[in-house]
Structure 1
Amino acid sequence: MMRQYELVERVQRYNPNCDEALLNRAYVYAMQKHGLQTRASGDPYFSHPLEVAAILTGLHVDEATIVIALLHDTIEDTDATRAEIDQLFGEGIGRLVEGLTKLKKLDLVSKRTEQAENLRKLLLAISEDVRVLLVKLADRLHNMRTLHYVPEAKRARIAEETMEIYAPLAGRMGMQDMREELEHLAFKTLNPDAFSTITTRLEDIRSRNMDLIKDIETELSEHLASHGIAATVKGRQKRPYSVFRKMTTKQLGFEQLSDIYGFRVMVGTMDECYRALGVVHTVWPSVPGRFKDYISTPKQNDYRSLHTTVVGPHRQRVELQIRTQEMNRVAEYGIAAHALYKDASGGNGAETGTVARPLPRLSEESRAYAWLRRTVESLSDGSSPEEFLENTKLELFQDQVFCFTPKGRLIALPRGATPIDFAYSVHTDVGNTCVGCKVNGRIMPLVTQLQNGDEVEIIRSKAQIPPATWETIAITGKARAAIRRATREATRKQFSSLGRQVLAAAFQRAKRDFSDGVLELALPRLGQPTVNDLLAAVGRAEIPSSDVLKAAYPDFKDERATVQRGDMKRAEEGWFSFAGQTGVKFRYMASSESGTGGLPVRSIAADLPVRFAPNGGAVPGDRIVGILTPGEGITIYPIQSPALKPYDDHPDVWLDVRWDIDAGDQVRFPAQISIHSFNEPGSLARIAQTISDNDGNIDNIRMARRTTDFHDVVIDLEVWDLKHLNRIINQLRTVHNVSRVERVNG
C-alpha cells in the first residue's frame, strides 16, 4: 500500500506548490476512519481510496481532487459526517464527497429505471463540477482492476455497466487511455472466450514481428529528421477489444485486419504536423479514404490529431497519428488536461490551520465539458429515466462526421446520422419544421446517411409536425428526445381538440353555457391543473363529460336513456337520439346526407385522434358510430358491425359522428371483403385485375385453403365510398371462378 509521503511526492512532481498539509490531513483522516475495514480481496479498505487517488495523480489533477478521492467513501462506509468534513476540509470538498456518496447508493443496480436515475444524477453532478467525473472514473477503474475478487454473480453486471456507460463517458471526455483500459477489463469479463482467442493471436503476431515496430519507429524518425523535423515516434499493437470491435462492426475475420499496428508521431508545432504528413506520404503510399484531419476540425472531446494509413515497410499497413506534444497531453488526459484551477481570490497559495483554502473553481471549460452540459440540459428535460438512459448512450457511442450549413457553420454528428439529426443539431425548431433537405445542392431523402464534408440545407414548413416514425430514423439522443416531445405535444393537442368538441356537444345537449371560464371553475373538483389538461382527459375518455357537467353545474341532473342497438339497426330512415352518460346527443343516419349533427369525420384527421375499425373499416355512405376508447380517441364503426356488441352496456363511450366529405375530396377509405373462389391457375390474378379495373386499391391479401378445390381470400381494400365498394363487389361476383363475395364488418 502506498505510504503517505509517496502520495504527496506524486502530486509534487507535477504541482510543486500543492497544499501538502491538506493532503496529509486527508490521508490520515481517511485511514483512521476506515480503520480495520477490509475489501473482498482481504486488503485493508483504505487501499481502495488510496489507489483511486494514485490513479488521479497520473492525470495531474489538483490536490482538492486527490482529497475528494481519499474521502469519497468515508460518509457512506464510516461514522464520518458531512459536518465534520466541512469543518476539516471546507464546505466545497464536503459537498462533493456527499454528492459522490449519494451516487454510490444507487450504483450497480439491476433495475433499468434505477440505473437510469443513477446515471442522470451522475451527469447532473458532473455538469456542476468536473472533479466528480474524475473521481468516479478512477473509482470505477480500480474496481475493475480488482473485479476478480467480486462474487461471480455480480461481475457481468458491473462489467456491462462499465462497457455501456463509464468507458464511453471517459472517451467522450477525451480520456482515451482510461477508456481503453476500462474496455479491456470489461471485455475480459463479458466475453472471455473472444478475449482469450484474440489475445493469443496478437501474442503470436507480436512474437513473429518483434522487430517490425522498432524498425518502423527508427525509419520514420530518420525520414522526419532528414527534413528538419524533430519527432518522437511511439508504436504499439492494438488492444484486444479494439480488434474485436473492428472485426464485429466491419464483419472482418482476423486475417483480414491489416492495421494491427498504430504509431504516434509527436512534433513541436502545428506546422510540423502537416510537414510530417507530407514527408510520410512522400516516403510511403497512403491508403485512399483513410486520412482524417482532426486538427482543423477537432472532435467534440477536444481530440486533435492527423490520422492517416500508409503501406509501410514489408508491405504492412500502418496507422499513423501525428500531433503536437500539447495535443498528445489532451489526448491522454482529456478533460483533466483542461482543469486549470485558480483560487476564488485569484491566487494559488494555501491557507494554514485546520480549515482548507476555498475549493478552487474550473477557470477554463473544454469543448467536452461544454458538450456534457448541453447533453444534460437537452436530455433531462421532460424525459423518463429510461429515455434518458437510452438517449445518453446514443450520445456517448459515436464516431463523428462533420457537415456544414449553407452559411458554413460546422455541425458535428455521429456516423450514420441523417438530415433529421442535422436539423435538430442546428436547432430544435429547425428539426420540428423540417419537411425535406438538400445535400450538396441536390434534393435527397431524409433517410440519407450524411458523409464528411456534406453541405446540408434543411427545407422547412411551419405546418409540419414531426412524424413519430422519425424516431426510428434519427440516431442522436437530442433528435429522438425532441421528436418524442413533439409527438406527445401533438397527441395532447389532438385529445384536447376532441375533448373540447365532446364537451361542447354535451353542454349544448344539457342547455348549459360552455366556455373555458366555466371549465376553470370546475378544475378543483376534477383534480385537473389546467383547462387543457381537462380537455385532454375527456378526449382520452379518462373523465366522462357528465362528470364535467356536474362539476361545473352542481344542480345538473343526468337524464339517462338507453336504447338497443338492434333498434338502431331497424331504423331504415331518419334518425333518433338519446342522452348517454356523456350527455352527447347520438345521431344515427341512414346515409351521409340525412343529417348534420355529430362530430365530423373526414378521414384519419390530423387534428383529431380518429381511427377506423381494424377489421372491416368504414366508408362514406355507411351509417357510422364512434366509440370513445380510453387513451386512443375515437374508433369509427359501421352501425351494423358485430364488433359493437361489447359496448351495448356502455352508452357512455358512444359518440354521434357524421361524414363530412366534400365532392372534390380525393380520399380513400378502408374496407374488407371475403371471397370464396375455386382453386385454379390464374384465379387470384383475375380477382386482382377486376379490382384494378374498377379503380380499387388492394392494401393486403390473405389466403387460406378450405378444401382441395376452394380458397378463402380476405382482401383489404381502399375505396372512395359505399357505392364504389358495392360496384367492386358486384363485378367480382361475375368472375367465373368466384362462388361468393361478402363485405366483412369486423
Structure 2
Amino acid sequence: DFISRFKSEMFQDRVYVLTPKGEVVDLPSGATPLDFAYHIHSEVGHRCRGAKVDGKIVPLVYQLKSGERVEIVTAKQPAPSREWLNPHSGYLKSARARSKVRQWFRAEDYDRNVATGRSILERELQRLGASGTNLEKLAQRFGKARLEDFLEVIGRGEIGPTQLSAAFPEQAAGQGQDGAPEGILKLQAPKAEGGTRGVRILGVGNLLTAAAGCCQPLPEDPVIGYVTRGRGLMIHREDCPNFLRLKQESPERVIKVDWTTREKDVFKAQIQVQAVNKSGIVKDVTAVFGEEKVPVISVRTSVEGKSGVLHIGLVIEVTSLAQLGRVLSEISQVPGVLEASRKTS
C-alpha cells in the first residue's frame, strides 16, 4: 500500500507522451505541445506552428495527457512569439522551455542592435573622414574584445556619436572651432522647462528652434532641421516618418544641424513597456527610475484584450541617450517584463 501510494504521488506531477516514432517523453503535468517541441529540440520549438495529438489538430495551449502521441507542425523559419512567455497565456509550463524562448529573443535583440550599431558607426566614421579605421582596434579602445559587442552597445545607445567623435580628436578638430562641419548649424541641447511641451533651443543668430514632439530627439540622435511656417526651425530625428514626408514635399526647407550639450540639461523621452499583468509589476518597473535617479513625468497603463499583456507608457527625463539605454536595459531585466523600448514616433 505504501509503495503504490508512493508511486502515485511521485508520478502525479508528470505526464508521459509519445513521439511519432513511439519514444517516451517525460514532461511536467500541464505541459503543452509547445513544451513537448522544446523538449525535443530548441529549433523544433522555435519553428513550431501547430500540433497534432493522436492524429487530431489541437491548439498549442492544449494540456497533454499520458499515453498521447504528439506530432509537431513546423515552419521553415524560426519565429517564436513573445506571448509564449506570458504565464497567463498557458503556452508553456516548463521553465526550461521559457528560458529557451528568452534566449532566442535576446539573440534576436543582439543581432538587431549589432546591425543598428554598424550603421551608426559607418555614418559617424564617414562624417569624421575616418572610414578606413581598423574597427577591431577601435572596439578595443572602448574596452570591447569583440567587434560585435562594440557594435551592439552602439546600437543599444550606450555609446553615441559624441563618444565616437572623442576617439578621433584630430578629425573632430578639423571640423571647425565648434566641432561641427562647415555649413552645419550647431544646436544647444533642448532643456525641459518644468515639464512643458515648449522645448526651446538656440542656434546661430538667436534662431529660435524646437525639438519635434513627434520623434522627440535626444542628444546623440542623428538629427535634421526643417524650417516651418511661423514656428521657426523644427528639429527631427533623421529617420522620423513625419520629417521624411516633409522632406519629400519641401526639400528646400531642410537644414543640417548637430548637437552641443551642456551639463545638467535634461530631455523628455517616451518609453513603452510590455509586461505580464500581475500585481506589483508597475511598482517594480517604476522602481528602476528611482534607482537610476530618472524623473518620471507621467505613467499610463492599458491591458491588451485577448492576450492580457499589460502595456505601460511613460514619459521620463534623461540626460543622454546612453542613460536612456541603461534604463531600458534595467527594465528589461525586471521579472515579468516582456519588452521595453523607446517610442520615437
Kindly provide the CA deviation profile for residues 64-86 of structure 1, in whole angstroms up to 9, marking residues without a partner as x: xxxxxxxxxxxxxxxxxxxxxxx
Q: 1:405-444 counterparts in 2 under 5 A? A: 405-444=19-58
Change (3 A) 1:653 1:507: farther
Structure 2, unmatched stretches of 5+, are 174-178, 181-185, 191-198, 201-207, 226-235, 252-268, 274-288, 293-313, 325-344
- 8 Å CA contact 2:110, 2:152 repeated in 1: yes
Q: 1:366-515 counterparts in 2 under 5 A? A: 399-471=13-85, 472=87, 473-513=91-131
Kindly provide the CA deviation profile for residues 111-148 of structure 1, in whole angstroms up to 9, marking residues without a partner as x: xxxxxxxxxxxxxxxxxxxxxxxxxxxxxxxxxxxxxx
Change (3 A) 1:569 1:542: closer
Following superposition, the deviation at residue 398 of structure 1 comes to: 7.2
Q: What is the DSSP-based 3-state SS (H/G/I as helix, E as strand, rest coil) of the residue aligned with 2:152?
A: helix
- 1:507 and 1:644 map into 2 onto residues whose CA distance is 32
Aligned partner of 1:56 in structure 2 is: none
Following superposition, the deviation at residue 534 of structure 1 comes to: 0.9
Aligned partner of 2:222 in structure 1 is: 584
Q: What is the DSSP-based 3-state SS (H/G/I as helix, E as strand, rest coil) of the residue aligned with 1:502?
A: helix
Q: What is the DSSP-based 3-state SS (H/G/I as helix, E as strand, rest coil) of the residue aligned with 2:114?
A: helix
1:524 is aligned to 2:140: yes
Aligned partner of 2:231 in structure 1 is: none
Aligned partner of 1:555 in structure 2 is: 170
Following superposition, the deviation at residue 569 of structure 1 comes to: 4.3
Code of the aligned partner of 1:508 = Q
- 8 Å CA contact 2:158, 2:321 repeated in 1: no
Aligned partner of 1:310 in structure 2 is: none
- 8 Å CA contact 1:465, 1:486 repeated in 2: no
Kindly provide the CA deviation profile for residues 515-559 of structure 1, in whole angstroms up to 9, marking residues without a partner as x: xx73212122100121111111112222223323443x4523172
Kindly provide the CA deviation profile for residues 421-472 of structure 1, in whole angstroms up to 9, marking residues without a partner as x: 1011111221122222222333322111111122222222243333344233
- 1:397 and 1:404 map into 2 onto residues whose CA distance is 16
Change (3 A) 1:510 1:403: same
Following superposition, the deviation at residue 414 of structure 1 comes to: 1.4
Following superposition, the deviation at residue 415 of structure 1 comes to: 1.1
Change (3 A) 1:529 1:468: farther
Code of the aligned partner of 1:474 = L
Q: 1:321-360 counterparts in 2 under 5 A? A: none
- 1:537 and 1:397 map into 2 onto residues whose CA distance is 47
- 1:478 and 1:645 map into 2 onto residues whose CA distance is 35
Aligned partner of 1:602 in structure 2 is: none
Following superposition, the deviation at residue 508 of structure 1 comes to: 3.4
Following superposition, the deviation at residue 413 of structure 1 comes to: 1.1
- 8 Å CA contact 1:421, 1:475 repeated in 2: yes
Code of the aligned partner of 1:556 = Q
1:538 is aligned to 2:163: no
Q: 1:8-87 counterparts in 2 under 5 A? A: none
Kindly provide the CA deviation profile for residues 670-693 of structure 1, in whole angstroms up to 9, marking residues without a partner as x: xxxxxxxxxxxxxxxxxxxxxxxx
Q: What is the DSSP-based 3-state SS (H/G/I as helix, E as strand, rest coil) of the residue aligned with 1:586?
A: strand
Q: How many residues align?
A: 220
Q: Percent identity?
A: 29
Whose radius of gyration is greater, 1 or 2? 1
Following superposition, the deviation at residue 488 of structure 1 comes to: 1.7
- 2:71 and 2:148 map into 1 onto residues whose CA distance is 36
Following superposition, the deviation at residue 646 of structure 1 comes to: 4.1
Following superposition, the deviation at residue 497 of structure 1 comes to: 2.4
- 8 Å CA contact 1:417, 1:449 repeated in 2: yes
Following superposition, the deviation at residue 493 of structure 1 comes to: 1.8
- 2:77 and 2:24 map into 1 onto residues whose CA distance is 28
Q: What is the DSSP-based 3-state SS (H/G/I as helix, E as strand, rest coil) of the residue aligned with 1:422?
A: helix
Aligned partner of 2:311 in structure 1 is: none
- Higher strand content, 1 or 2: 2
- 8 Å CA contact 1:406, 1:455 repeated in 2: yes
Aligned partner of 2:247 in structure 1 is: 595
Q: Which has the higher contact order (CA 8 A, sep 6+)?
A: 2
Structure 1, unmatched stretches of 5+, are 1-234, 237-261, 265-302, 308-318, 320-395, 572-577, 598-610, 616-628, 631-642, 655-745
